[in-house]
Chains A and B, each alone.
Chain A
Amino acid sequence: MLTILFDGIAYGMLLFVLAVGLAVTMGLMNFINLAHGAFAMVGGYITILLMQRQGVPFLVCLPLAFAGSALLGAVLERTLYRPLYHKPHLDQVLFSLGLTFMAAASVDYFVGSSMQIVQLPEWLKGRTEIGSGDWVLGMGHYRLFIIVICGALTLALQYVLAKTRFGSRLRASVDDQRVAAGLGINVNAVFLSTFAVGSGLAGLGGALGADVLGMDPGFPLKFMIYFLIVVAVGGTSSITGPLLAALLLGIADVAGKYYIPKLGAFIVYSLMIVILVWRPQGLFVRKGGRS
């Protein structure tokens, strides 16, 4: 029982880190970026290739995956995304979907289409069990590691957005670009760095998830649905919304597959429908922002 809960939380945390960048670009910057999963894939492949071919240790790969995807995000934001900020949503969807297919095809071409295998360091491979009987809690060390990292990231993000000057600049730019620019905020720079950090987080999520979720060129498409569910259910206006949504989904998915394996694949979607019927705007909506 507790083990299932634990696995669900780990899975949810992973989904959160993967999807939070999308929540930021979609909710704060009002841009629908379906290519978000492609950045996650880039992070995953950076880790895999560095580990397999260069023998770089896993812990060093993680920041590199973040940096690599963030850099790519920044370059693409400046060159491709920025001109599309003021285009209709359909254009943005078509553009980013095309980008996703291109990313998948190029990974297929350069690395190959087979599922990649990550060899975790020994100290992350074990498992600890606490308690006994029905209340036994089995914790895979790697999943524990995921929860710790993702938890720390969440706190840091929440702090930056709510408490720092950059956070208030970002919120100001989002609410009204013209006024924010008039007040001397460099809106372009704010958006650029936000987009880069969002992509970087996706990359980090991909790197962390490569072991659990598997990494192949189909990754961005396979998980696009999950990202969108997290964002749709959680609402796009805060960090806490997607976090709770991701945890809810993770736990529901894992528990559903455990208790009713035959229906396992449907549970997440049914849950999403129920929540969206109940609250079409998502679980958490910020009041006062311009819609």
Chain B
Amino acid sequence: MNKHRCLRLLALCAAVALASLSTLDQVAAAEENSFKIGLILPMTGQQASTGRQIEAAARLYMAQNGDTVAGKKIQLIVKDDTTVADVTKRLAQELVVSDKVNVLAGFGITPSALATASIATQSKTPSIVMAAATSSVTEASPYFVRTSFTVPQASVSMADWAPKNGLKKVVTLVSDYGPGIDAEKFFKDRFIFNGGLVLDSLRVPLRNPDFAPFLQKVRDLKPDALFVFVPSGAGAAVMKQFLERGMDKAGIKLIGTGDVTDDDQLNDMGDGALGVVTSHHYSAAHTSALNKKFVDAFMKANKGMRPNFMAVSGYDGMRVIYEALRATKGNGNGDALLAAMKGQIFESPRGPVFIDAQTRDIVQNIYLRKVERAKDGQLYNIEFDVIKDVKDPGKSH
């Protein structure tokens, strides 16, 4: 390269740098009055439905409650981490360092949340976990606040309900990854404690092409019920093969956490899903005025897409952020916000919830639901029993 060209290039660089500096000043002036939320979600990849639901819910909350709180203009920056934890970490860093966000939120899967923990801690950025459901997530950073649920919360509730309802012998079948193992462990411990008998515990590889051999094994063990935890999406496959194998006719019941009958997919599962009993914190069919309003507004804004348990976490997450900002009178300081998030008690579309100040985890009702065909001809999880104010059992040590 000759000297002239080199010099010209340098001059160009300098000019660009100067120009961007002056625009930065203007931007900074505008930023005084804004409050930024960096929402990192899996919008593509395996868990894309999670991202879609949470984003839609967050936008709905903003549309309903306005985008100015305590004199600050709320700015939502959505980033796609493609369901890859490394990407989540990189995006979180960018959002904190260059966009200077006040709050991080989202995190579709447990590894994404764990990867971001150190960034949240070091930059003192409160981070709302809206999906990742492994118990230990909130212990990874003192700046994590969870508005979704924990797998143990849902699992132990099922383990409490099942033995009282004639299901004494159970086989567990879980996907072999963090949340799956959580579900197996907490269900099993509580179920045995309640006098039940776990005949066998099967772990299916996460990328398992065919459930047939595992289900055949379950059939031959002849339990009263099969407890299932698989990532949402695989639930439909398990349910179908369960029926195809005639296990319902062999007297085996299918029970599990609500991930299996995810509202997002439930209606496509067909009649086979009827009668499946699950335990979870949210059903789109929850009977409360607030939920009805939430579901109607959500479906109207999203071409009839039904909100699922991810959506309600996103909605409540935004509520927690709004109220924290209001309580601190527009102060964007991380520690002040965090303090204002702890201990919030409010009515969510899912029912009453409470952010435990000690664990920063959500305390909520867990409902027992059965899949039924509602009046509009669609399949819903109809709640028929409730266990009130369930704390995450993973933290009771």
List A178-228 residues whose CB lies under 8 Å from chain B.
Answer: 211-214, 216, 218, 222-223, 226
- Please tell me which stretch of A76-84, A90-98, A260-268 contacts chain B, meaning at least 4 of its Cβ atoms lie within 8 angstroms of it: A260-268
Q: In the complex, A112→B233 CA distance in Å?
A: 12
Q: In the complex, A225→B48 CA distance in Å?
A: 25
- Please tell me which stretch of B112-120, B209-217, B389-397 contacts chain A, meaning at least 4 of its Cβ atoms lie within 8 angstroms of it: B209-217
New contact pairs (10) apart from A114-B265, A142-B244, A254-B210, CB-CB < 8 Å:
A4-B213, A7-B213, A114-B264, A117-B268, A212-B210, A212-B241, A214-B209, A214-B234, A258-B216, A265-B208
Report yes or no: B216 in contact with A3, Cβ–Cβ below 8 A.
Answer: yes
Candidate in A113, A115, A129, A256 with the most chain B CB atoms within 10 angstroms: A113
B373 interface residue (CB < 8 Å to A): no
If the complex has contacts A108-B44, A214-B237, A264-B213, are A114 and B203 also in contact, measured as CB distance less than 8 A?
no
If the complex has contacts A125-B244, A127-B244, A265-B205, are A117 and B213 also in contact, measured as CB distance less than 8 A?
no
- Contact among A4, A114, A226, A264 with B48 in the assembled complex (CB-CB below 8 Å): A114
* Closest beta carbon of chain A to B207's beta carbon, Å: 6
B245 interface residue (CB < 8 Å to A): yes
Interface size range on B against A: 20 to 34
Residues of B within 8 A of A213 (CB): 209-210
Q: Which B-chain residue is minimally distant from A256 (CB atoms)?
A: B213
- Contact among A114, A212, A261 with B49 in the assembled complex (CB-CB below 8 Å): A114
A229 interface residue (CB < 8 Å to B): no
If the complex has contacts A127-B246, A142-B244, A265-B205, are A117 and B265 also in contact, measured as CB distance less than 8 A?
yes
Q: In the complex, A115→B205 CA distance in Å?
A: 17
B residues at A contact (CB < 8 Å)? 44-46, 48-49, 202-203, 205, 207-210, 212-214, 216-217, 233-234, 236-237, 240-241, 243-246, 264-265, 268-270
Q: Which A-chain residue is minimally distant from B45 (CB atoms)?
A: A113
Report yes or no: A115 in contact with B233, Cβ–Cβ below 8 A.
Answer: yes
Residues of A within 8 A of B217 (CB): 257-258, 261
Report yes or no: B46 in contact with A127, Cβ–Cβ below 8 A.
Answer: no
Q: In the complex, A127→B246 CA distance in Å?
A: 7
Report yes or no: A115 in contact with B240, Cβ–Cβ below 8 A.
Answer: no
Report yes or no: A117 in contact with B269, Cβ–Cβ below 8 A.
Answer: yes
Q: Could you list 15 A-B pairs, sorted by A, with CB under 8 Å?
A: A112-B48, A113-B45, A114-B48, A114-B264, A125-B243, A142-B244, A212-B212, A222-B209, A226-B209, A258-B214, A258-B216, A261-B202, A261-B214, A264-B213, A265-B205
Candidate in B203, B244, B245 with the most chain A CB atoms within 10 angstroms: B244
* Closest beta carbon of chain A to B173's beta carbon, Å: 9
* Closest beta carbon of chain B to A233's beta carbon, Å: 17
Residues of A within 8 A of B264 (CB): 114
Residues of B within 8 A of A114 (CB): 48-49, 233, 264-265
A27 interface residue (CB < 8 Å to B): no
Q: Which B-chain residue is minimally distant from A262 (CB atoms)?
A: B203
Residues of A within 8 A of B46 (CB): 113, 216, 218
Report yes or no: A216 in contact with B214, Cβ–Cβ below 8 A.
Answer: no
Q: In the complex, A211→B216 CA distance in Å?
A: 17
Q: In the complex, A4→B202 CA distance in Å?
A: 17
List A243-291 residues whose CB lies under 8 Å from chain B.
Answer: 253-258, 261-262, 264-265
Residues of B within 8 A of A223 (CB): 209
Report yes or no: B270 in contact with A119, Cβ–Cβ below 8 A.
Answer: yes
Q: Which B-chain residue is minimally distant from A211 (CB atoms)?
A: B240
Candidate in B44, B240, B241 with the most chain A CB atoms within 10 angstroms: B240
If the complex has contacts A214-B234, A214-B237, are A113 and B44 also in contact, measured as CB distance less than 8 A?
yes
If the complex has contacts A127-B245, A222-B209, are A115 and B237 also in contact, measured as CB distance less than 8 A?
yes
Q: In the complex, A264→B204 CA distance in Å?
A: 9
If the complex has contacts A257-B214, A261-B203, are A117 and B236 also in contact, measured as CB distance less than 8 A?
yes
Report yes or no: A258 in contact with B213, Cβ–Cβ below 8 A.
Answer: yes
A138 interface residue (CB < 8 Å to B): yes
A140 interface residue (CB < 8 Å to B): yes
Report yes or no: B213 in contact with A113, Cβ–Cβ below 8 A.
Answer: no
List A99-144 residues whose CB lies under 8 Å from chain B.
Answer: 108, 112-115, 117, 119, 125, 127, 129, 138, 140, 142
Q: In the complex, A264→B217 CA distance in Å?
A: 12
Report yes or no: B233 in contact with A216, Cβ–Cβ below 8 A.
Answer: yes
Q: In the complex, A214→B45 CA distance in Å?
A: 16
Residues of A within 8 A of B48 (CB): 108, 112-114
Q: In the complex, A223→B44 CA distance in Å?
A: 20
Q: Which A-chain residue is minimally distant from B208 (CB atoms)?
A: A265
Report yes or no: A138 in contact with B49, Cβ–Cβ below 8 A.
Answer: no
Q: In the complex, A226→B234 CA distance in Å?
A: 20
Report yes or no: B209 in contact with A4, Cβ–Cβ below 8 A.
Answer: no
A11 interface residue (CB < 8 Å to B): yes
Per-position binary interface string of chain A over residues 132-160, scored 1 when its CB falls under 8 Å from any chain B CB and 0 otherwise? 00000010101000000000000000000
Residues of B within 8 A of A261 (CB): 202-203, 213-214, 217
Report yes or no: B209 in contact with A140, Cβ–Cβ below 8 A.
Answer: no
* Closest beta carbon of chain A to B307's beta carbon, Å: 16
Q: Which A-chain residue is minimally distant from B235 (CB atoms)?
A: A115
* Closest beta carbon of chain B to A191's beta carbon, Å: 31
Report yes or no: B245 in contact with A138, Cβ–Cβ below 8 A.
Answer: yes
Residues of B within 8 A of A113 (CB): 44-46, 48-49
Q: In the complex, A199→B48 CA distance in Å?
A: 29
Q: Which B-chain residue is minimally distant from A222 (CB atoms)?
A: B207
* Closest beta carbon of chain B to A144's beta carbon, Å: 11
* Closest beta carbon of chain A to B51's beta carbon, Å: 10
Residues of B within 8 A of A218 (CB): 46
Report yes or no: A11 in contact with B212, Cβ–Cβ below 8 A.
Answer: yes
Q: In the complex, A4→B210 CA distance in Å?
A: 13
4 smallest CB-CB distances across A and B, nearest first, come from A257-B213, A115-B233, A258-B213, A113-B48
Residues of A within 8 A of B246 (CB): 127, 129, 138
Q: Which B-chain residue is minimally distant from A127 (CB atoms)?
A: B246
* Closest beta carbon of chain A to B264's beta carbon, Å: 8
Report yes or no: A115 in contact with B212, Cβ–Cβ below 8 A.
Answer: no
Q: Which A-chain residue is minimally distant from B231 (CB atoms)?
A: A115
* Closest beta carbon of chain B to A145's beta carbon, Å: 12
* Closest beta carbon of chain B to A37's beta carbon, Å: 12
- Contact among A214, A222, A254, A265 with B212 in the assembled complex (CB-CB below 8 Å): A254
Q: Which A-chain residue is minimally distant from B209 (CB atoms)?
A: A213
